[in-house]
Amino acid sequence: MRLPILLGALLPLVLASCGNLPRPFAHDPDAPPKGLVRLTSGTGVAVLASPGSVTTFSAEEMALALRAFDVPADALVEPRLGGYVLRAALDGSWELSSPAGLPLLVVPATADLVEAGEAVAHAVESDATRPLSLRMAAGVDPSLPVSSPLPTLRVVPEIEGLDGGRARVLVGALEGALRRAGLTLDAAAQWTVAGRLETASAAKGEPVPVRFTWILRGPDGTEQGAAEQANAVPPDTLTRGFAALAAAVAPGAAEGIAALAHEARASR
């Protein structure tokens, strides 16, 4: 299954994030690229209407209000993996939950559209800037049997589109971010994460559009899902500034991969 470009990240990468979050490559499922480098996965909001609810404004209006506050949001029928969910309740209020399913905010039915949008944007920004390890740990599903742990992963050392030196820098940053997110790594693991970098042409001196794709494969080599990050970056970050770029990309990539690992566990 393919994550809804979590890293919206890169914004909208549908994973776009709200405001000026210091997470240029955040995991966002459907955000279009704007501003710095952001991923498509973790900060996109799916706005869901509930049959029978009596909200004073529609899911489409709420999504529009959130986008006005720079939060990637769409009115959807069902939530997408890795994103926030804003659901209309039967009493007319709106309930916001995190990508891990934790309740974050209830917007009363009496709030007007601007108040509601501002409150939700603030809640998303506050949650998205918390350490990933805390957000993911809090979201462990107690209904899952103890015998079904998250798979142990191995990051493939070669990254398509990168030379060996830069690949080692990015893989090292990613492995550190994955460990901080609570995942276990092992050089002999059968579950693998493979990366790919794609760039587009740009005028001399202008930001270069880049897209990172991270693919999770099971023991039999079957693709279990993919997380994507995209944005435009200054050209020198792809060369002498690559270490800083890797540090910006790794946390969002880890968030997307962690979401895929949780999904894989749930389906086992």
Residue 110 has pLDDT above 70, yes or no: yes
Domain range enclosing 46: 38-138
Domain count, the chain: 2
Question: What SS3 state is found at 141?
Answer: coil
Indicate the residue type of 100.
A
Average pLDDT of the chain to the nearest whole number: 76
Considering the domain architecture, whether residues 130 and 55 belong to the same structural domain is answered as: yes
Q: What is the pLDDT of residue 221?
A: 93
Considering the domain architecture, whether residues 126 and 168 belong to the same structural domain is answered as: no
For residue 226, what are its two tokens? 């993919």
Q: What is the pLDDT of residue 45?
A: 86
For residue 132, what are its two tokens? 């990933």
Read off the DSSP letter of residue 242: H
Q: Is residue 126 part of a domain?
A: yes
For residue 151, what are its two tokens? 């798979």
Q: Is residue 199 part of a domain?
A: yes
Considering the domain architecture, whether residues 109 and 169 belong to the same structural domain is answered as: no
Considering the domain architecture, whether residues 78 and 105 belong to the same structural domain is answered as: yes
- Helix count and strand count (H, E) for the chain: 5, 10
Tokens 């769409």 correspond to 74
Considering the domain architecture, whether residues 127 and 166 belong to the same structural domain is answered as: no
Maximum alpha-carbon separation in the chain? 57
How far lies 195's CA from each of 12, 159, 160, 178, 200, in Å?
21, 5, 6, 14, 17
CB-based burial of residue 141 (10 Å sphere; 0-12 exposed, 13-18 middle, 19+ buried)?
exposed
Among residues 99, 115, 138, the one where a domain terminates is: 138
Q: Which of 17-26, 188-197, 201-210 has the lowest mean pLDDT?
A: 17-26
Q: What is the pLDDT of residue 256?
A: 83
Q: What is the pLDDT of residue 199?
A: 93
Tell me the percentage of the chain whose pLDDT exceeds 90.
26
Read off the DSSP letter of residue 42: T
Residue 170 has pLDDT above 90, yes or no: yes
